[in-house]
Structure formats: C-alpha cells, structure tokens
C-alpha cells in the first residue's frame, strides 16, 4: 500500500467514525475504499468491521451521560445486540457472499421511512395509551400515575427487534446505525439525542463481538485495520461532540436523508 493509499484509508476511517456516531452508515465510506484497493469483498467487509470497532467504542464513550440516564434498559438491549452481532458474523462466514444483498436496500429505506413518520406514530401511540388508562372515579383522588423511567417496561419486542437489526449489523453493517436509531425512536418516545447514545452503544457491541469472531476465524487485512482504527477513534470522539449539539429535528432529517441516499445507492448498484 502506497503512502497516498494509506492516507486515503486513514481519512476514510476518520469520516466513517464521525458519521457512524452522528447518524450511522460510515461503512459506506470505508468499504468501497478497501474494495478499490483490491481487497476481496469478504476480506474487505471483515477488515472494515474490525477497523471501525474502536471508533464505535469511542463514540459510545462520548455519550456516557446519555447512557447513564437510561441504565435500566442497557442490559437487555446489550445482550440482544451481542447475540445478534455474533449471529450475523457467523452468517457472514457460512453463507455465500451477498446473501443478504437483496433485502438490505429495502431495510434501509424502511428505516428512513420510520424516522420520517416517527413523530406522528408516537403521537398516535400516546393517544392509544391515554385511552387505555381508565379515568379515576368522580370525587376520588389519589397519587398521580407513576412516570416510567427510561428503560422501564421495554418487554420482549424491543430486544427481539434489536437482535434482528444486530444480525444484519454483524453480517454487513452498512447503515446499521440508521436502522437502530429508527427502531429505537419508533418504539421509545424519548429525546432523539438520548436514543442516539443508546444506538452508539448497541452498534459498538455488535461491531465488537463480530470483530472478535472475525479476528479469530478468518483472513484479515491488518494494515488497513490499523489505519481505520486510528482514524475512526478520532472520528468517534468528534462525532460524539458534534452529535450532542445537533438539534433533534436536524438529526432526524440527517438520518432520513442519509438512509434514503444509502438505500437508493445500494438498490441501483
């Protein structure tokens, strides 16, 4: 690899680490670069996952404050992400290359759509919950209904959905963050920047477990991995600083735009 090519990989890692933390889909910056440098698709995919994992961890650490505010939900969703990432990584090693390619654009476009309708959907869900809560009898007083803290009562459906998205993340991972954030925002009617911190933690866990599996079992291009790791760590810290300052409507618009562009790009290529 020439110095110019090494610099290209390093800069791509920086960009991917930043984009992954703020929105997701940073792999679309780095994966094509590795392919253009002549690495086979599976080696490029595996090396890309390992190289961007330190950046994912860096981005998640940048959201420590947001994660502490929702500690009750971290364990079940983290377990789902780890199991899903491991499953996806195993599928990458077992299935023919490109086995999921047909459904990837549809998944990403669906995530962009969910992000777009999430405010309306959340309003409808709140209205249904309000109707379902019986009114107190006339003349009777009592303590107000308790307000559920973040993470309370997530049930089984959300961990199952996180597991499913994490399978995709362990297998390929492009726009994994878009899918996760759209899912969390649809199910959990909370501040988008708070959920972005949770997205970054789950994304980091998926990448970490898949990276460990790949490092132990298959061929890896370690020099690009090192360059991607150096760039993505700096990008993860930068992305956390930027992402926290992005207003929720702007963050939502970014996810919709990026998801739509990625989905259409993958559909036509």
Q: What is the pLDDT of residue 168?
A: 86
Give me the sign of the Cα torsion angle 153, 157, 161, 162.
positive
Q: What is the pLDDT of residue 43?
A: 87
Q: pTM of this prediction? A: 0.77
Q: Smallest Cα–Cα separation from 107: which of 168, 159, 162?
A: 168
Q: Smallest Cα–Cα separation from 31: which of 95, 104, 130?
A: 104
**DSSP letters along 186-210, please?**
HHS-S-HHHHHHHHHHHHHHHHHHH
Dihedral of CA atoms 192, 196, 198, 202 in degrees, nearest 10, equals: 140
Q: What is the pLDDT of residue 137?
A: 53
Cα–chain center distance at 204: 8
- pLDDT tens for the 269 residues of the chain, in order: 889 999 999 999 998 888 888 877 777 778 888 888 988 878 888 899 899 999 889 888 888 888 888 888 899 999 999 999 999 999 888 887 666 666 667 767 776 776 676 566 656 655 655 555 454 455 554 444 444 455 455 678 899 999 999 998 888 777 788 788 888 888 887 888 888 889 989 999 999 999 999 999 989 999 999 999 999 999 988 888 887 777 767 766 776 777 788 778 777 76
């Amino acid at each position: 690899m020439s110095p110019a090519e090494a610099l290209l990989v390093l800069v791509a890692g920086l960009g991917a680490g930043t984009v992954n933390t703020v929105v997701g889909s940073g792999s679309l910056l780095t994966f094509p670069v590795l392919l253009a440098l002549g690495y086979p698709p599976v080696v490029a995919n595996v090396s890309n996952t390992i190289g961007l994992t330190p950046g994912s961890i860096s981005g998640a650490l940048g959201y420590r404050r947001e994660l502490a505010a929702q500690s009750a939900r971290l364990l079940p969703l983290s377990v789902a992400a780890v199991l899903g990432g491991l499953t996806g990584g195993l599928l990458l090693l077992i299935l023919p290359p490109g086995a999921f390619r047909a459904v990837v654009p549809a998944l990403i476009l669906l995530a962009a759509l969910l992000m777009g309708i999430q405010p309306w959907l959340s309003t409808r869900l709140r209205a249904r919950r309000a109707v379902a809560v019986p009114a107190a009898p006339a003349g009777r007083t009592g303590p107000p209904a308790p307000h559920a803290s973040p993470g309370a009562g997530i049930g089984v459906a959300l961990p199952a959905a996180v597991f499913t998205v994490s399978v995709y993340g362990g297998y390929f991972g492009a726009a994994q963050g878009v899918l996760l954030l759209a899912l969390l925002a649809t199910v959990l009617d909370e501040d988008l920047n708070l959920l972005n911190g949770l997205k970054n933690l789950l994304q980091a866990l998926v990448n970490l477990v898949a990276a460990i599996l790949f490092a132990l079992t298959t061929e890896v291009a370690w020099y690009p991995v090192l360059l991607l790791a150096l760039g993505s760590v700096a990008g993860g810290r930068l992305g956390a600083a930027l992402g926290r300052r992005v207003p929720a409507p702007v963050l939502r618009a970014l996810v919709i735009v990026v998801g739509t562009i990625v989905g259409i790009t993958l559909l036509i290529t």
